């Protein structure tokens, strides 16, 4: 399927797939760190009763981190199950 979309050999496709996965894992790691920091900041803003605008901005930062994590993890799981189905199809 990948060969029909992008005209390149399997070796080059596996190489690019590896690089894409490394980039996805770096994105996941960085947004987990940002999620921890933004969650801490939202709790700090909530506990110290800043303005409602500050609190909603803090929660929007948390939602941004969750959105990026959801998309990156969905791509990782899609690739995992796609590769698993390819392995099962070839071995059966």
Q: Tokens 């399927």 — which residue? A: 1
- Tell me how far the alpha carbon of residue 36 is from its chain's centroid: 15
Does residue 8 form part of some domain?
Answer: yes
pLDDT greater at residue 42 or residue 87: 42
Could you tell me the residue range of the domain that residue 48 belongs to? 2-83
Does residue 92 form part of some domain?
Answer: no
Does residue 33 form part of some domain?
Answer: yes
Does residue 63 form part of some domain?
Answer: yes
CA distance 46 to 48: 6
Looking at the chain, the whole-number percentage of residues with pLDDT higher than 90 is 49
pLDDT digits (tens, 9 = 90+) for 3-34: 566 677 777 877 888 888 899 899 999 999 99
Sign of the dihedral defined by the CA atoms of residues 32, 77, 72, 29, in that order: positive
**The pLDDT value given to residue 32:** 96
Domain count, the chain: 1
Does residue 91 form part of some domain?
Answer: no
CA distance 41 to 82: 38
Q: What tokens does 4 get?
A: 């029909």
**The pLDDT value given to residue 67:** 95
């Amino acid at each position: 399927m990948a060969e029909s979309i992008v005209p390149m050999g399997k070796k080059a496709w596996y190489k690019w797939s590896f690089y894409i996965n490394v980039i996805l894992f770096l994105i996941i790691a960085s947004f987990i760190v940002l999620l921890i920091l933004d969650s801490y900041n939202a709790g700090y803003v909530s506990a110290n009763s800043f303005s409602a605008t500050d609190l909603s901005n803090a929660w929007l930062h948390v939602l941004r981190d969750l959105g990026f994590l959801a998309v990156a993890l969905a791509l990782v799981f899609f690739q995992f199950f796609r590769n698993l189905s390819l392995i099962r199809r070839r071995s059966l």
